[in-house]
Chains A and B, each alone.
Chain A
Protein backbone atom coordinates (compact mmCIF):
# COMPACT_ATOMS: atom_id res chain seq x y z
CA UNK A 1 0.00 0.00 0.00
CA UNK A 2 1.38 3.40 -0.92
CA UNK A 3 1.77 6.21 1.59
CA UNK A 4 -0.94 8.11 -0.21
CA UNK A 5 -3.41 5.22 0.04
CA UNK A 6 -2.53 4.73 3.71
CA UNK A 7 -3.12 8.40 4.38
CA UNK A 8 -6.47 8.23 2.60
CA UNK A 9 -7.54 5.19 4.65
CA UNK A 10 -6.65 7.04 7.85
CA UNK A 11 -8.56 10.19 6.81
CA UNK A 12 -11.63 8.24 5.72
CA UNK A 13 -11.68 6.10 8.87
CA UNK A 14 -11.52 9.19 11.07
CA UNK A 15 -14.40 10.70 9.07
CA UNK A 16 -16.49 7.55 9.54
CA UNK A 17 -15.86 7.49 13.30
CA UNK A 18 -16.70 11.16 13.46
CA UNK A 19 -20.06 10.56 11.75
CA UNK A 20 -20.95 7.43 13.72
CA UNK A 21 -19.89 8.73 17.13
CA UNK A 22 -20.70 12.38 16.56
CA UNK A 23 -17.11 13.34 17.47
CA UNK A 24 -15.91 16.88 16.96
CA UNK A 25 -13.25 17.43 14.30
CA UNK A 26 -10.71 17.95 17.11
CA UNK A 27 -11.58 14.68 18.85
CA UNK A 28 -11.48 12.75 15.57
CA UNK A 29 -8.09 14.23 14.70
CA UNK A 30 -6.78 13.38 18.18
CA UNK A 31 -7.39 9.61 17.82
CA UNK A 32 -4.08 7.81 18.37
CA UNK A 33 -3.07 4.25 17.47
CA UNK A 34 -3.65 3.17 21.05
CA UNK A 35 -6.90 5.09 21.61
CA UNK A 36 -9.42 2.56 22.90
CA UNK A 37 -12.63 2.03 20.88
CA UNK A 38 -15.04 -0.83 21.65
CA UNK A 39 -15.33 -1.09 25.42
CA UNK A 40 -13.62 2.28 25.95
CA UNK A 41 -16.11 4.58 24.20
CA UNK A 42 -19.58 4.25 25.71
CA UNK A 43 -21.25 5.47 22.49
CA UNK A 44 -19.79 2.51 20.62
CA UNK A 45 -22.35 -0.19 21.47
CA UNK A 46 -23.11 -3.21 19.28
CA UNK A 47 -25.61 -1.22 17.18
CA UNK A 48 -23.03 1.53 16.58
CA UNK A 49 -20.34 -1.03 15.71
CA UNK A 50 -22.70 -2.57 13.15
CA UNK A 51 -23.26 0.88 11.65
CA UNK A 52 -19.53 1.54 11.66
CA UNK A 53 -18.73 -1.71 9.82
CA UNK A 54 -21.49 -1.15 7.25
CA UNK A 55 -20.20 2.35 6.61
CA UNK A 56 -16.63 1.04 6.26
CA UNK A 57 -17.84 -1.51 3.69
CA UNK A 58 -19.59 1.26 1.81
CA UNK A 59 -16.85 3.87 1.76
CA UNK A 60 -13.88 1.49 1.34
CA UNK A 61 -15.73 -0.80 -1.07
CA UNK A 62 -14.85 -3.91 0.95
CA UNK A 63 -16.83 -6.80 2.46
CA UNK A 64 -16.35 -7.63 6.13
CA UNK A 65 -17.30 -11.18 7.15
CA UNK A 66 -18.77 -12.13 10.53
CA UNK A 67 -15.69 -14.08 11.54
CA UNK A 68 -13.37 -11.15 10.86
CA UNK A 69 -15.07 -9.07 13.52
CA UNK A 70 -13.48 -9.68 16.91
CA UNK A 71 -12.56 -7.81 20.04
CA UNK A 72 -9.00 -7.27 18.91
CA UNK A 73 -9.92 -5.59 15.62
CA UNK A 74 -12.17 -3.16 17.48
CA UNK A 75 -9.97 -2.66 20.51
CA UNK A 76 -8.01 0.39 19.40
CA UNK A 77 -8.01 2.91 16.58
CA UNK A 78 -4.67 1.52 15.37
CA UNK A 79 -6.06 -2.03 15.12
CA UNK A 80 -9.12 -0.89 13.20
CA UNK A 81 -6.97 1.18 10.85
CA UNK A 82 -4.63 -1.76 10.20
CA UNK A 83 -7.65 -3.96 9.48
CA UNK A 84 -9.10 -1.41 7.02
CA UNK A 85 -5.74 -0.99 5.27
CA UNK A 86 -5.31 -4.77 4.87
CA UNK A 87 -8.83 -5.19 3.51
CA UNK A 88 -8.35 -2.37 1.02
CA UNK A 89 -5.03 -3.73 -0.14
CA UNK A 90 -6.59 -7.20 -0.61
CA UNK A 91 -9.59 -5.72 -2.44
CA UNK A 92 -7.45 -3.80 -4.93
CA UNK A 93 -4.87 -6.57 -5.24
CA UNK A 94 -2.13 -4.14 -4.24
Chain B
Protein backbone atom coordinates (compact mmCIF):
# COMPACT_ATOMS: atom_id res chain seq x y z
CA UNK B 1 0.00 0.00 0.00
CA UNK B 2 1.29 3.44 -0.87
CA UNK B 3 -0.18 6.90 -0.36
CA UNK B 4 -0.84 9.43 -3.09
CA UNK B 5 -2.07 13.04 -2.84
CA UNK B 6 -5.58 13.42 -4.15
CA UNK B 7 -7.67 16.53 -4.77
CA UNK B 8 -11.14 16.40 -3.25
CA UNK B 9 -14.11 18.58 -2.39
CA UNK B 10 -12.46 19.31 0.97
CA UNK B 11 -8.93 19.94 -0.36
CA UNK B 12 -5.99 17.62 -0.99
CA UNK B 13 -5.91 14.44 1.10
CA UNK B 14 -3.76 11.35 1.10
CA UNK B 15 -5.41 8.35 -0.55
CA UNK B 16 -4.07 4.82 -0.63
CA UNK B 17 -3.30 2.52 -3.52
CA UNK B 18 -2.15 -1.07 -3.82
CA UNK B 19 1.07 -0.85 -5.78
CA UNK B 20 3.54 -3.25 -7.37
CA UNK B 21 6.23 -0.74 -8.22
CA UNK B 22 9.75 -1.62 -9.34
CA UNK B 23 10.24 1.52 -11.46
CA UNK B 24 9.76 -0.43 -14.66
CA UNK B 25 8.88 1.12 -18.02
CA UNK B 26 5.35 -0.30 -18.26
CA UNK B 27 3.11 1.13 -15.53
CA UNK B 28 -0.57 0.21 -15.47
CA UNK B 29 -3.22 2.23 -13.61
CA UNK B 30 -6.21 0.07 -12.69
CA UNK B 31 -9.54 1.85 -12.22
CA UNK B 32 -11.87 -0.55 -10.40
CA UNK B 33 -15.61 -1.08 -10.83
CA UNK B 34 -17.84 1.19 -8.75
CA UNK B 35 -19.80 0.51 -5.53
CA UNK B 36 -20.48 -3.12 -4.61
CA UNK B 37 -18.79 -4.46 -7.75
CA UNK B 38 -15.54 -2.93 -6.49
CA UNK B 39 -15.55 -5.25 -3.47
CA UNK B 40 -16.52 -8.27 -5.51
CA UNK B 41 -13.67 -7.85 -7.97
CA UNK B 42 -10.89 -6.62 -5.67
CA UNK B 43 -9.35 -10.03 -5.13
CA UNK B 44 -9.33 -10.79 -8.82
CA UNK B 45 -7.71 -7.44 -9.61
CA UNK B 46 -5.02 -7.92 -6.95
CA UNK B 47 -4.34 -11.44 -8.27
CA UNK B 48 -3.98 -9.94 -11.75
CA UNK B 49 -1.52 -7.38 -10.37
CA UNK B 50 0.65 -10.14 -8.85
CA UNK B 51 0.80 -11.84 -12.23
CA UNK B 52 1.61 -8.58 -14.03
CA UNK B 53 4.44 -8.06 -11.54
CA UNK B 54 5.89 -11.44 -12.51
CA UNK B 55 5.50 -10.47 -16.18
CA UNK B 56 7.56 -7.32 -15.61
CA UNK B 57 4.76 -4.76 -15.44
CA UNK B 58 4.21 -2.30 -12.56
CA UNK B 59 0.60 -1.75 -11.56
CA UNK B 60 -1.39 0.54 -9.28
CA UNK B 61 -4.90 0.14 -7.89
CA UNK B 62 -5.89 3.42 -6.21
CA UNK B 63 -8.86 3.77 -3.87
CA UNK B 64 -11.61 5.92 -5.32
CA UNK B 65 -12.06 8.83 -2.86
CA UNK B 66 -14.68 7.97 -0.25
CA UNK B 67 -14.13 4.20 -0.72
CA UNK B 68 -12.03 1.58 1.10
CA UNK B 69 -9.43 3.35 3.30
CA UNK B 70 -10.26 6.83 2.06
CA UNK B 71 -10.92 9.50 4.68
CA UNK B 72 -12.98 11.60 2.28
CA UNK B 73 -16.77 11.64 2.64
CA UNK B 74 -18.48 9.33 0.18
CA UNK B 75 -21.50 11.60 0.03
CA UNK B 76 -19.41 14.46 -1.35
CA UNK B 77 -18.16 12.41 -4.31
CA UNK B 78 -19.32 12.63 -7.90
CA UNK B 79 -18.18 11.06 -11.16
CA UNK B 80 -16.38 14.36 -11.72
CA UNK B 81 -14.40 14.08 -8.46
CA UNK B 82 -13.53 10.44 -9.21
CA UNK B 83 -12.40 11.39 -12.73
CA UNK B 84 -10.18 14.14 -11.30
CA UNK B 85 -8.80 11.72 -8.70
CA UNK B 86 -7.95 9.02 -11.24
CA UNK B 87 -6.30 11.60 -13.51
CA UNK B 88 -4.20 12.73 -10.53
CA UNK B 89 -3.33 9.12 -9.63
CA UNK B 90 -2.21 8.48 -13.22
CA UNK B 91 0.04 11.52 -13.04
CA UNK B 92 1.40 10.69 -9.59
CA UNK B 93 2.31 7.12 -10.48
CA UNK B 94 3.51 7.98 -13.99
CA UNK B 95 1.07 5.53 -15.55
CA UNK B 96 1.77 4.54 -19.13
CA UNK B 97 -1.39 2.43 -19.57
CA UNK B 98 -4.82 2.07 -17.97
CA UNK B 99 -7.22 -0.76 -17.31
CA UNK B 100 -10.78 0.28 -16.44
CA UNK B 101 -13.25 -2.33 -15.29
CA UNK B 102 -17.07 -2.02 -15.51
CA UNK B 103 -18.09 1.38 -14.04
CA UNK B 104 -14.43 2.32 -13.84
CA UNK B 105 -14.80 3.06 -17.56
CA UNK B 106 -16.90 6.09 -16.55
CA UNK B 107 -14.02 7.74 -14.67
CA UNK B 108 -10.66 6.53 -16.02
CA UNK B 109 -8.11 8.83 -17.71
CA UNK B 110 -9.10 8.36 -21.36
CA UNK B 111 -5.86 9.80 -22.69
CA UNK B 112 -3.92 6.70 -21.59
CA UNK B 113 -3.76 3.72 -23.95
CA UNK B 114 -5.10 0.49 -22.54
CA UNK B 115 -8.21 -1.57 -21.95
CA UNK B 116 -11.80 -1.38 -20.76
CA UNK B 117 -13.21 -4.60 -19.30
CA UNK B 118 -16.99 -5.07 -19.77
CA UNK B 119 -17.78 -1.33 -19.54
CA UNK B 120 -21.22 -0.46 -18.21
CA UNK B 121 -23.48 2.59 -18.46
CA UNK B 122 -24.01 4.71 -15.35
CA UNK B 123 -27.78 4.32 -15.72
CA UNK B 124 -27.46 0.53 -15.49
CA UNK B 125 -25.44 0.76 -12.27
CA UNK B 126 -27.97 3.16 -10.77
CA UNK B 127 -30.97 1.08 -11.82
CA UNK B 128 -29.54 -2.00 -10.19
CA UNK B 129 -28.83 -0.24 -6.90
CA UNK B 130 -32.26 1.36 -6.79
CA UNK B 131 -33.80 -2.01 -7.54
CA UNK B 132 -31.89 -3.64 -4.67
CA UNK B 133 -33.31 -0.96 -2.38
CA UNK B 134 -36.94 -1.45 -3.51
CA UNK B 135 -36.59 -5.24 -3.12
CA UNK B 136 -35.15 -4.85 0.39
CA UNK B 137 -38.00 -2.48 1.27
CA UNK B 138 -40.59 -4.95 0.05
CA UNK B 139 -38.96 -7.69 2.04
CA UNK B 140 -39.16 -5.49 5.13
CA UNK B 141 -42.86 -4.98 4.49
CA UNK B 142 -43.13 -1.55 2.90
CA UNK B 143 -43.22 -0.35 -0.63
CA UNK B 144 -40.91 2.07 -2.44
CA UNK B 145 -41.18 3.26 -6.00
CA UNK B 146 -38.04 3.44 -8.17
CA UNK B 147 -39.16 6.53 -10.05
CA UNK B 148 -40.01 8.41 -6.85
CA UNK B 149 -36.73 7.40 -5.23
CA UNK B 150 -34.77 8.72 -8.19
CA UNK B 151 -36.75 11.92 -8.26
CA UNK B 152 -35.89 12.55 -4.61
CA UNK B 153 -32.31 11.37 -5.16
CA UNK B 154 -31.68 14.02 -7.80
CA UNK B 155 -32.09 16.77 -5.21
CA UNK B 156 -31.31 15.13 -1.87
CA UNK B 157 -29.15 12.12 -2.69
CA UNK B 158 -30.10 8.55 -1.83
CA UNK B 159 -29.07 5.74 0.50
CA UNK B 160 -28.12 2.95 -1.93
CA UNK B 161 -26.43 -0.38 -1.22
CA UNK B 162 -25.03 0.99 2.03
CA UNK B 163 -23.62 4.14 0.40
CA UNK B 164 -24.97 7.62 0.86
CA UNK B 165 -24.95 8.59 -2.79
CA UNK B 166 -25.01 12.37 -3.26
CA UNK B 167 -27.27 14.20 -5.71
CA UNK B 168 -24.32 15.05 -7.97
CA UNK B 169 -23.35 11.37 -8.19
CA UNK B 170 -26.94 10.38 -9.04
CA UNK B 171 -27.14 13.01 -11.76
CA UNK B 172 -23.77 11.93 -13.14
CA UNK B 173 -24.68 8.25 -13.21
CA UNK B 174 -27.97 8.89 -14.98
CA UNK B 175 -26.26 10.21 -18.06
CA UNK B 176 -22.75 8.73 -17.97
CA UNK B 177 -21.68 6.39 -20.74
CA UNK B 178 -18.40 4.50 -20.81
CA UNK B 179 -15.79 6.57 -22.54
CA UNK B 180 -13.01 5.23 -24.56
CA UNK B 181 -10.62 6.67 -27.06
CA UNK B 182 -9.38 3.59 -28.79
CA UNK B 183 -8.76 1.50 -25.66
CA UNK B 184 -9.28 -2.17 -26.40
CA UNK B 185 -12.48 -3.67 -25.09
CA UNK B 186 -12.15 -6.95 -23.16
CA UNK B 187 -15.27 -9.10 -22.80
CA UNK B 188 -15.92 -11.61 -20.05
CA UNK B 189 -15.83 -14.36 -22.70
CA UNK B 190 -12.17 -13.45 -23.34
CA UNK B 191 -11.40 -14.38 -19.72
CA UNK B 192 -13.60 -17.48 -19.53
CA UNK B 193 -15.85 -18.49 -16.63
CA UNK B 194 -18.58 -16.51 -14.88
CA UNK B 195 -18.32 -12.78 -14.23
CA UNK B 196 -17.00 -12.21 -10.71
CA UNK B 197 -18.74 -8.84 -10.32
CA UNK B 198 -22.09 -10.66 -10.52
CA UNK B 199 -21.17 -12.99 -7.69
CA UNK B 200 -23.13 -12.25 -4.51
CA UNK B 201 -20.17 -13.43 -2.41
CA UNK B 202 -16.70 -12.22 -3.42
CA UNK B 203 -14.98 -14.92 -5.43
CA UNK B 204 -11.71 -15.36 -7.23
CA UNK B 205 -10.49 -17.20 -10.25
CA UNK B 206 -6.85 -17.95 -10.94
CA UNK B 207 -7.72 -18.71 -14.58
CA UNK B 208 -9.38 -15.34 -15.12
CA UNK B 209 -6.51 -13.45 -13.48
CA UNK B 210 -4.06 -15.41 -15.68
CA UNK B 211 -6.03 -14.59 -18.83
CA UNK B 212 -6.37 -10.90 -17.97
CA UNK B 213 -2.68 -10.46 -17.07
CA UNK B 214 -1.67 -12.27 -20.26
CA UNK B 215 -3.91 -10.07 -22.45
CA UNK B 216 -2.43 -6.93 -20.91
CA UNK B 217 1.17 -8.13 -21.08
CA UNK B 218 0.75 -9.14 -24.73
CA UNK B 219 -0.83 -5.77 -25.50
CA UNK B 220 1.98 -3.81 -23.86
CA UNK B 221 4.63 -5.81 -25.74
CA UNK B 222 2.87 -5.41 -29.07
Contacts and interface: CB of A to CB of B under 8 A. Distances in A.
Contact of B194 (A18, A48, A50, A70): A18
Interface string B150-161: 000000000001
B144 to A, nearest CB: 9
Interface string A56-74: 0000000000100111000
Contact of B124 (A45, A54, A69): A54
Interface residues of B, number: 23
Interface of B: 36, 124, 127-129, 131-136, 138-139, 145-146, 161, 194-195, 198-201, 203
Interface string A1-33: 000000000000000001111100000000000
A88 B138 CA distance: 25
A71 B136 CA distance: 11
8 contacts: A20-B198, A21-B200, A44-B200, A47-B132, A50-B131, A51-B198, A66-B131, A69-B131
Given A18-B194, A22-B199, A45-B200, A50 B124 contact: no
